[in-house]
Amino acid sequence: MSYLNKESSIFRSEHLLELNSPAEEVFRQAYRIVDSNTFTRIGAFGILYGISGDNEVSGLLEQMGASPDEIRFRICEEKGISILPEKPVGASIKITRGVLDDVLSGTGRDIVRVANSVAEKAKIGNIGPESLLIGLVFEGTSRASRLLKELGIGPTQLLQFGQPGNKFC
């Protein structure tokens, strides 16, 4: 049962866009941290772990000077967990609003709210890994957001990549 009151759930909102396939994979990867350890909620580090494995976002992170492998290593180090196995623990999980409603932390929900807003304003039609990265950076209070800033990825850098002609929002 979800710890969140059903009326306050962002996933019951008519305005929440669907996740695209790469974003679903982000949450499957994030679920690995929950499933492989003693955590009960997917928060900012879980989302960052997931998006750093996305091909387009990991390429973008590298262009901005941040190694996705370094990000994943630092997440595991910060959380005190061992390097996760390559076998995708959560690969069979169907990512639905109900699943997210049950596993996202408050910060995770804030990130999804920002990502949803970004996707709506950009008229993308769904939430993707790029929108989730923007959500992480602009959420700003989490340790994952601070880690990105330490690696040189902040709002200014994202806005530079958001110029016309660039697929990134």
Q: Which domain holds residue 153?
A: 16-157
DSSP three-state, residue 50:
helix
40-55: average pLDDT: 88
The distance of Cα 43 from the centroid of its chain, to the nearest Å, equals 8
Structure-token pair, residue 135: 């959500």
Q: Is residue 169 in a domain?
A: no
For the record, the structure tokens of 87 come out as 């076998």
Question: How many folded domains does the chain comprise?
Answer: 1
* Res 129: pLDDT: 92
pLDDT at residue 132, rounded to an integer: 93
Q: Is the per-residue pLDDT at 14 higher than 60?
A: no
Q: How far apart are CA 26 and CA 154, in angstroms?
A: 20
For the CA atoms of 137, 140, 146, 152, the dihedral, rounded to the nearest 10 degrees, stands at 40
Higher-confidence residue of 166 and 97: namely 97
On whether residue 2 sits in a domain, the answer given is no
Q: How far apart are CA 135 and CA 118, in angstroms?
A: 8
The answer to the question of residue 52 being in a domain is yes
**CATH number of residue 54's parent domain:** 1.10.1780.10
